[in-house]
């Protein structure tokens, strides 16, 4: 028998996510399917032309969208009769209603009420029941839907701005940064928003936490946009002060947190002696990230000055999310619009939204297996640089307006991740050797790219 102590694979103390800390963010851990009673982007405006019908899913809730007389309506996409999705075979007899293609239950777009039944117009059910409706706002070429629980009252629906990143210059005094001009907002008058959205195979929280993770610079070191600009990134960024992050939670405002990047509250790491790695002559883009409920990232001054990047990680199921990447810029003249659009096509989309962000998309999928069955939240061993994720989890636990329930049929299902299922369906069974990532810049995924002209 050996006298050696067993190797300790798990620290007894010192990890940032102690049991006590974990308790503080238990509601977040419970939010596998996302948060409800919040505003989410649903489609780009030009993905829903006049008269068109689209079905989407957010936080496990199926939603049908229809544009009629220019206005977008959103209703629960589940017929009250026998439960089919109305969007599966759109049927509309006029501009005020949408009918179910199966037995003709016909719902008012505005109120959701059951207005009539095509082949049974005198049934007593008519006028006495209906579908949940979801408030809709359309700004800067994006359609936002307030995804709510069936019993969430109309009068409690907050303005869209409450689920949006902080606006500047209104908040410049509170969150000053002398290094760049006030970040444009989608809610400003003369902005143009260009972007893409695509489906990522990971839980929405993993995606969201990656967006503002200051410790993951390593993932991006070989990216074309970094190399082409001769950026020299630090090895990491470490919190250097208690107030490196400020939580904002004003009663009537958005709930989120601001990271004071590129100030003395964060320290760039330039050397790792154990590995004999050193970085000299730091030279990179200066930016700042903030994150807001229900999971919206704002990157100021990125990928270039005067541009702000918004990201949403919209939960679809507990293992898929819709990844929205939108660049916003003030474009007061037609010439500005044209230039921004050209730059989007030739630089921002290929090098930033794809090349750079593809690495993030991939990293999130790489984490999914660990978190898929829900135990990863206990098994992870967090460190000092994970302070951002921990603060976010706590604030999201305190301020979310509701935790999405798994939809019927989801309970008790096999939690093996969809990535594994996809691989199996492509004939790639789990093997002995790892599948290597050999060219991150070519990590492609079908996506929709839309523009607001
Ligand atoms: S299922 Fe919709 S009308 Fe019967
Ligand atoms: Fe990243």
Q: Is 236 a domain residue?
A: yes
Digit-coded pLDDT (tens) for 197-216: 999 999 999 999 999 999 99
Clarify whether residues 204 and 313 are in a common domain: yes
3-state helix, strand and coil shares in percent for the chain, rounded to the nearest 5: 25, 25, 50
Enumerate residues with CB within 5 Å of ligand 2 (an ion): 360
Ramachandran region, residue 318 (left: φ > 0; alpha: ψ -120 to 50; beta: rest): alpha
For residue 290, give its domain range. Answer: 163-404+430-451
Measured between alpha carbons, how far is 196 from 326 in angstroms, rounded to an integer?
A: 6
Q: Is 47 a domain residue?
A: yes
Measured between alpha carbons, how far is 69 from 429 in angstroms, rounded to an integer?
A: 50
If you measure from the C-alpha of residue 417 to the centroid of ligand 2, how many angstroms do you get, rounded to a whole number? 22
Spell out the SS3 assignment of 129-148.
Answer: CECCECCEEEECCEEEEEEC
Mutate to test the pocket of ligand 1, among 76, 77, 79, 80 (most ligand atoms within 8 A of CB): 79
Tokens (6 digits) for 223 = 């990216």
Taking the chain, what is the end-to-end CA distance rounded to the nearest angstrom? 75
Clarify whether residues 77 and 210 are in a common domain: no
Q: Is 22 a domain residue?
A: no
How far is C-alpha 332 from the chain's CA centre?
28
Clarify whether residues 259 and 399 are in a common domain: yes
Clarify whether residues 133 and 171 are in a common domain: no
CATH number, position 97? 2.20.25.10
Q: Is 33 a domain residue?
A: no
Q: Is 147 a domain residue?
A: no
Q: Is 102 a domain residue?
A: yes
CATH number, position 232? 3.90.380.10
Which is nearest to 44 in space by CA: 342, 361, 453? 453
Clarify whether residues 344 and 238 are in a common domain: yes
Q: Count the domains in the chain.
A: 2
Does the predicted TM-score (pTM) go above 0.75?
yes
Q: Tell me: cis bond preceding 294? Omega within 30 of 0 counts.
A: yes
CA distances from 153 to 128, 133, 134 (A): 18, 11, 11
Tokens (6 digits) for 65 = 């969208």
Give the pLDDT of the chain (453 residues) as one tens digit per residue: 455 666 666 665 567 888 888 999 999 999 999 999 999 999 999 999 999 999 999 999 999 999 999 999 999 999 999 999 999 999 999 999 999 999 999 999 999 999 999 999 999 999 999 999 999 999 999 999 999 999 999 999 999 999 999 999 999 999 998 889 999 999 999 999 999 999 999 999 999 999 999 999 889 988 999 999 999 889 999 999 999 999 999 999 999 999 999 899 999 999 999 999 999 888 888 999 999 999 999 999 999 999 999 999 999 999 999 999 999 999 999 999 999 999 999 999 999 999 999 999 999 999 998 998 889 999 999 999 999 999 999 999 999 999 999 887 665 445 555 666 666 677 776 666 766 665 554 444 444 444 443
Clarify whether residues 171 and 119 are in a common domain: no
Residues lining ligand 1, judged by CB closer than 6 Å?
79, 81-82, 84, 100, 102-105
Q: Is 4 a domain residue?
A: no
Nearest alpha carbon, ligand 1 atom 4: 103
Clarify whether residues 247 and 382 are in a common domain: yes
If you measure from the C-alpha of residue 79 to the centroid of ligand 1, how many angstroms do you get, rounded to a whole number? 6
Mutate to test the pocket of ligand 1, among 55, 93, 102, 123 (most ligand atoms within 8 A of CB): 102
């Amino acid at each position: 028998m050996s006298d050696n102590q067993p190797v300790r694979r798990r620290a007894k103390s010192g990890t940032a996510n102690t049991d006590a800390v974990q308790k503080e963010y238990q509601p977040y851990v419970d939010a596998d399917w996302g948060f409800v009673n919040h505003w989410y982007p649903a489609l780009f405006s030009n993905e829903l032309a006049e008269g068109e019908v689209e079905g989407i899913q957010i936080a496990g809730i199926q939603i049908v969208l229809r544009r009629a007389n220019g206005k977008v309506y959103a209703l629960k996409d589940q017929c009250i009769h026998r439960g089919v999705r109305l969007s599966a075979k759109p049927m509309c007899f006029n501009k005020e209603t949408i009918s179910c293609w199966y037995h003709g239950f016909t719902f008012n777009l505005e109120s959701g009420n059951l207005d009539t039944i095509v082949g049974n117009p005198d049934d007593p059910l008519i006028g006495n029941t209906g579908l949940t409706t979801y408030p809709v706002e359309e700004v800067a070429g994006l359609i936002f839907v307030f995804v709510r629980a069936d019993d969430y009252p109309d009068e409690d629906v907050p303005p869209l701005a409450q689920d949006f990143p902080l606006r500047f210059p209104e908040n410049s005094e509170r969150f000053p940064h002398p290094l760049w001009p006030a970040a444009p907002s989608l809610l400003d008058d003369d902005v143009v928003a260009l972007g893409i959205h695509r489906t990522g195979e990971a839980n929405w929280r993993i995606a969201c936490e990656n967006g503002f993770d200051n410790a993951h610079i390593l993932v991006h070191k070989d990216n074309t946009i970094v190399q082409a600009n001769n950026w020299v990134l630090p090895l990491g960024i470490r919190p250097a002060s208690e107030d490196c992050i400020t939580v904002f939670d004003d009663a009537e405002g958005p709930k989120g947190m601001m990271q004071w990047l590129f100030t003395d509250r964060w320290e760039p790491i330039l050397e790792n002696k154990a590995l004999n790695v050193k970085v000299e002559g730091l030279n990179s883009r200066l930016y700042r990230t903030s994150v807001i409920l229900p999971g919206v990232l704002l990157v100021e001054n990125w990928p270039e000055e005067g541009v702000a990047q918004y990201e949403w990680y919209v939960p679809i199921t507990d293992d898929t999310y819709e990844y929205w990447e939108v660049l916003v810029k003030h474009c007061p003249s037609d010439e500005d619009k044209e230039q921004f659009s050209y730059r989007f096509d030739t630089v921002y989309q290929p090098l930033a939204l794809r090349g750079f962000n593809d690495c993030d998309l991939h990293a999130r999928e790489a984490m999914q297996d660990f978190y898929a069955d829900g135990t990863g939240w206990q098994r992870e061993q967090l460190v000092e640089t994970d302070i951002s994720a921990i603060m976010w989890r706590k604030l999201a636990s305190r301020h979310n307006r509701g935790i999405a329930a798994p939809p019927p049929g989801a309970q008790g299902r096999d939690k093996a991740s969809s990535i594994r299922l996809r691989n199996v369906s492509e004939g790639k069974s789990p093997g002995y050797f790892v599948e290597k990532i050999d060219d991150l810049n070519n990590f492609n995924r079908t996506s929709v790219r839309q523009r607001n002209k």
